[in-house]
Amino acid sequence: MSSDARPRAAATPARVVVDALPLAVLVLVGLVWWLGGFGSARSDGPPLEPLRVDSAAELESVFARYGYEWPPDRVPGLALQRFPPDLDQVPVEQRKSLFLRSLLPLVLAENARIAAERDGLIAARDGELDDEDARRLVARLAGRYGVDGAPDDPATLEALLRRVDVVPPALALAQAANESGWGTSRFALEGNNLFGEWTWSEALGLEPENREEDAGHYVRRFPNLRASVASYLNNLNSHEAYADFRAQRAAMRAAGRPRRATALAEGLAAYSERGEEYIAELRTMLRQNGLADAITGVEILTTEQLAQR
């Protein structure tokens, strides 16, 4: 991820929420990937099977092969690389279903990576790692999440624990749907950009058609959809604009309360110039599409596991 990634509005960066899935589910895939060593510099997250399709009908056919419906009772470990160009030509409800089913494995896998990183930090805090492994882990994650401080300073680790935490999948799906027009926007199709993130580098972005003459931003281009999800989660977990969101999330965790998407959406006013109107819109999308209820307790499975069921 480039350090110049920014949300759609320069004055209003991006943030997210934590809620629906139990950490045991999220960590299931992440631990397998991450246990190669706490000091590993690896950042690509749990593996998913790449999926490329040419049409919405082909995408529907692949999902049908694995019994993957919406709302889901299981989630195949598939990573759609980019949305088919004819997604806007299918009926609205089918379009929504295809979009949500495509994005959910990506969000779950990236949350699993973050949950595994958090587990490593807790192990370091509790003295379960040797000093050198703990320092390497804290230094690596401090760089990734924008935390200043010495790697052997307990304050650095505590600051990281506030940032290295999962985002409610329901909220990520609602924001992606809102920002990308359910996967049909120009930036979603040409740049795999689901969350309206900006960049100031022409080489990394697409120029908005109606950009003001004195504006210098571009809409960030990503190599695939999963990279957009990873950048968005990092933005919420590291950008200073979302400090209040992270504080609310930490307070909920400390009190043992569920990190619900509808509640944590309150911390997303800076994501859009529309502020409170944007929050209300997200909450309406969450409610009308039943997102939190639809993905509570689902698990991500490999295609081999699904074939055995």
- What CATH number does residue 132 fall under? 1.10.530.10
- Is 220 among the domain residues? yes
Residue 41 to residue 220: CA distance in whole angstroms: 24
- Is 10 among the domain residues? no
Whole domain around residue 274: which residue ranges?
23-307
Q: Give me the torsion for CA of 16, 18, 20, 25, rounded to 10°.
A: 110
Residue 208: count other Cβ atoms within 10 Å of its Cβ: 15
- Is 42 among the domain residues? yes
Q: Residue 44 above 70 pLDDT?
A: no
How confident is the model over 106-137, as pLDDT tens digits?
999 999 999 999 999 999 999 999 999 999 99
Q: Give the count of domains, the chain.
A: 1
Give the amino acid at 118. R
What is the pLDDT averaged over residues 257-274?
94
**Is the peptide bond between 71 and the residue preceding it cis, with omega within 30 degrees of 0?**
yes
Q: For residue 20, what pLDDT is reported?
A: 31
Q: For residue 211, what pLDDT is reported?
A: 66
Cβ atoms of residues 41 and 72 within 8 Å:
no
Burial of 41: CB neighbours in 10 Å, binned 0-12, 13-18, 19+: exposed
- Is 5 among the domain residues? no
Tokens read off for 35: 């246990």
- Is 3 among the domain residues? no
What is the pLDDT averaged over residues 286-307?
84
Residue 159 to residue 250: CA distance in whole angstroms: 11
Residue 133 to residue 97: CA distance in whole angstroms: 43
Instruction: Return the minimum-mean-pLDDT range out of 5-19, 65-79, 82-96, 201-215.
Output: 5-19
- Is 11 among the domain residues? no
Instruction: Return the minimum-mean-pLDDT range out of 126-135, 227-236, 265-274, 290-299.
Output: 290-299
Instruction: Return the minimum-mean-pLDDT range out of 42-46, 184-188, 237-241.
Output: 42-46
**Contacts of residue 197, Cβ cutoff 8 Å, sequence gap at least 6:** 5, 6, 7, 8, 14, 219, 220, 228, 231, 232, 235
